[in-house]
Amino acid sequence: MRDSLPSLIGVIHLPPLPGSPRFAGELGPILEQTAADARALAAAGFEGVILENFGDAPFHPERVPAITVAAMTAAALAARGAAPAVSLGVNVLRNDAEAALAIAVAAGASMIRVNVHVGARITDQGLVQGRAHETLRLRRELGASAVRLLCDVDVKHSAPLTPRPIAEEAEETAGRGLADALLVTGSGTGRAADRAQLEAVRAAVHVPVLIASGVTVDSLSSLCGAHGVIVGSCLRASGRAGDPVDQGTATRFADAFRKVWHS
């Protein structure tokens, strides 16, 4: 039986990994920081963490090289070792669900994030197309049915080929793409999701819906009603995505979340 889907998930933004243009030359410090971020989120009371190769820009549009998979597996194992009681997730940017599933299986993760699961989007990597048919079949082949697919709708840093109601995309992502949960974001990293879009997605599907960008302590009360949140930027003392997690800042967010979401 699957564990319940976490409602409070923090993002660990990995620095540039081996093979990426800005890699600093040593993997060890990256793994140490990953473990520190995971411990900080666990101590703050987060139920889940998602690792993403945030520092690897410019991103591969779909398949990433083997060195990225290897480095992210090492990072996922570091996070798992540092915070064994916290649900672990993986997001391989820009859109490599195959790699994310492989890492999840190797590291014992319980969820992956897929930015474009169905349809196609125009992004700064060009045209990115969903591979739901491949992802679902691979999950079955790997015996990984317990690994949930958290899939974006109208994902940030992208545009549709043609305008369409977000509710239709949500219906297809959950209904035809068999996503386990849907994610609603703003237009970019750290930008707030539109309340009307969130409500449209919630009304269209019967799977959990999480808000996955731009959430702050101040905005929590206006967003209550979704299953939960995935939060990154505001857990940093600087407020900038990519910086280390600040435990005090993360604790204040977690306390505020529980007060609003469970009141």
Average pLDDT for 189-199: 83
For 112, residues 6+ apart whose C-beta sits below 8 A from its C-beta are: 89, 90, 91, 92, 97, 100, 101, 104, 147, 148, 149, 150
Give the tens place of pLDDT for each residue, 226-251.
999 999 999 999 988 889 999 999 99
Structural domains in the chain (count): 1
The CATH number assigned to the domain holding 161 equals 3.20.20.70
pLDDT tens digits, one per residue of 51-83: 999 999 999 998 999 999 999 999 999 999 999
- Report yes or no on 2 lying in a domain: no
Q: How far is CA 11 from the centre of its chain?
A: 7
Q: Are strands 120-123 and 158-160 parallel, antiparallel or unpaired?
A: antiparallel
Does residue 77 lie within any of the structural domains? yes
Q: What are phi and psi of 51, to 5 degrees?
A: -90, 140
Tell me the sheet residues that pair with 184: 153, 211
**Residue range(s) defining the domain that contains residue 253:** 8-261
Note whether residue 17 is domain-resident.
yes
State the chain's mean pLDDT as an integer: 93
What mean pLDDT do residues 101-123 have? 96
| Residue 1 placed within a domain | no
pLDDT at residue 206, rounded to an integer: 96
* Number of helices (H), then strands (E), in the chain: 8, 11
pLDDT at 109 over 70: yes
Does residue 188 register a pLDDT over 80?
no
Looking at the domain assignment, is residue 3 inside a domain?
no
Residue 2, pLDDT score: 43
pLDDT over threshold 90, residue 12: yes
Q: Which residues contact 32 (CB under 8 A, 6 or more apart)?
A: 78
